[in-house]
A and B are shown apart, each in its own frame.
Chain A
Amino acid sequence: MKVKRYLSSVFVIAELELRKIRHDQSQIWLRVVQPALWLTVFGVTFSAIRSIPTGDYTYLQFMTPGILAQSVIFVAVFYGVVVVWERDMGLLNKLLSTPTPQSAIVIGKSLAAGVRGLFQAAAIVVLAMIMRVDLILTPVSILGVFAIILLCGMCFSSMSIALASVLRNRERMMGIGQAIMMPLFFASNAIYPISIMPGWLRVIAVGNPLSYVVDATRSLLVTGNLSSIGIDMAVICVTTGILVALASLGFRKILS
């Protein structure tokens, strides 16, 4: 019974966010614009240059999983700003006065960030299909990618919520978000393989959870080689678990 109530709290918190999206869908589509430009401008240009070694695959094939992941982290990394804003509005105080456990609030909110990511991912996959990027689209690969995207959204949004409870103000959150975003994206295998990086950067890229998200997505959508997906999923799940726990523990601090 307790577990049921807990899970239902998580889903209600996520439902709240989804209802907002339903009332204003433009926020989803506007978020698709930037990743779409990465594919159509950056992707098309770099395909023409052929300067990045992507093995047997075209550059667009190679980068599509990276752009999928990017579209999710762009939302997730700034999710803490939303939480700070809700704190300022008094919404959090009231939410915490209900019997909802704070970890359920954190998981529910990060789940919502993941679901936002799903809509965007779906839009980008459709765009890639229109651009005739050759992707493996089977029910299994699509479900697998959706699961990874959902976890990716939860992972980086809970990181952002954890940071919000330390930084506690919107300006700082914007600053840290931008500071994290750049190395997170470029020090990963999202738009070029780790093998072309200098040694020190490789170390960072291997420690970057986004690399595992992209690798898992790439295995499913492009190469079909699932040999490393077990490790990828393990890293993503453990990282998400740790970040959710950190965000839950610190959540009440955001109020003071």
Chain B
Amino acid sequence: MTEAIVVENLVKVYPGVRAVDGISFSIAEREIFGLLGPNGAGKTTTIRILLTLIKPTSGKLSVLGVDALAYPEKVRQLAGYVPQDVSVDGEITGYENILIYAKLYGMPADQRKKRIKEVLEYLGLEDRANSMVNTFSGGMMRRLELAQSLVNRPRMLFLDEPSIGLDPNARGAIWALVRKLRDEFGTTILITTHDMVEADALCDRIGIMDRGRLAVIGKPGELKSTVGGDILSVCSQAANLPAVVKELGYSTIAGSANGTVDLLCTNGEVVIPRLLEDLKARGVETASVSLKKPTLDDVFLKYTGARIGEGEGEGGSWKQARRTRRTFRKLTR
């Protein structure tokens, strides 16, 4: 497998802060990699360094085999970027927004029209192409931003908080698009997010970032299994429930509520049917079973010692979301 991105010991120091504090990671081609962490963890700084928008204090990085510090313009030609803030121009049409970027990427005039039409259709914006962007909804603006960066067919796409400030529907649409891009075009995608659900739903691998450092890198499933397995809570009126469960060889957790037994297992969804049959065979009537899977939130807690929503994080993300909303409003004014 070829590496799309290799980062070695990257450091970015601003006066008084080490925004990025010696991180190393690599991203394979066709991979969706997520940088997960609270606001201020250094995710956006990392993305901007990779995009050659800012120079790192020290460290090495290659993007698609190009030494990004020596040849920044080559990286920019190959990469697409959707920043966290809304970056479409509200005072021109959707078509024009894409046209300008097609030209800036140096696309030959004879290909432009066709390519723009393609991305507009791909993102479901063709019937609004000639409307002014300040009449678009937030979700449409995000799609237009994707269209702008896709028109050049980037091999590497950087998405900074792609679904911030969007409603659940629009968020789902963006996720589906990101997956489709990877599946259909083999685009390598780096996203940053402070949203556990997003990282879990979208990423092949994630790196958990906290205060400029990468705490851990792995597949969401693997990371979750390191914090312990699934928990099954079985509810029944039968008095012999705890005994029967133990007899069947499950490890139970002490201190369960009366009439309930919590047991630890891996792949809880596979265990449930087997467990129910076994219990029935032994004459135990089950009232309910619930499955609790460990979340990335638990993973974050384990590796950084804090919940992602705690303290600054939550306030920051709210502030962020509000800021994005405000930008939408400004544009549509």
Contact = CB atoms under 8 A, between A and B. Distances in A.
Nearest to B145: A94
A196 interface: no
Contacts of A96: 53
Contact of B81 (A8, A89, A94, A101): A94
Contacts of A255: 53-54
Interface stretch (A11-19, A28-36, A109-117, A120-128): A11-19
Contacts of A20: 89, 91-92
B103 A89 contact: no
Interface of A: 5, 8-9, 12, 15-16, 19-20, 23-24, 88-91, 93-101, 255-256
Interface of B: 48, 51, 53-54, 73, 76-77, 79, 81-87, 89, 91-93, 96, 100-101, 103-106, 132, 145, 148, 327, 330-331
Which of A88, A95, A99, A101 has the most chain B CB within a 10 Å cutoff?
A99
A19 B92 contact: yes
B73 A99 contact: yes
Given A9-B104, A12-B100, A98 B89 contact: no
B51 A97 contact: yes
A90 B85 contact: yes
Which one of A23, A93, A95 has the highest number of Cβ atoms from chain B below 10 Å of its Cβ?
A: A93
Given A5-B106, A93-B53, A99 B89 contact: no
Contacts of A91: 87, 89
A95 B101 CA distance: 8
Contacts of A93: 48, 53, 81, 83, 85, 87
Given A16-B96, A99-B105, 5 more contacts: A19-B92, A20-B89, A89-B330, A90-B87, A97-B76
B86 A90 contact: yes
Contact of B327 (A5, A24, A89, A98): A89
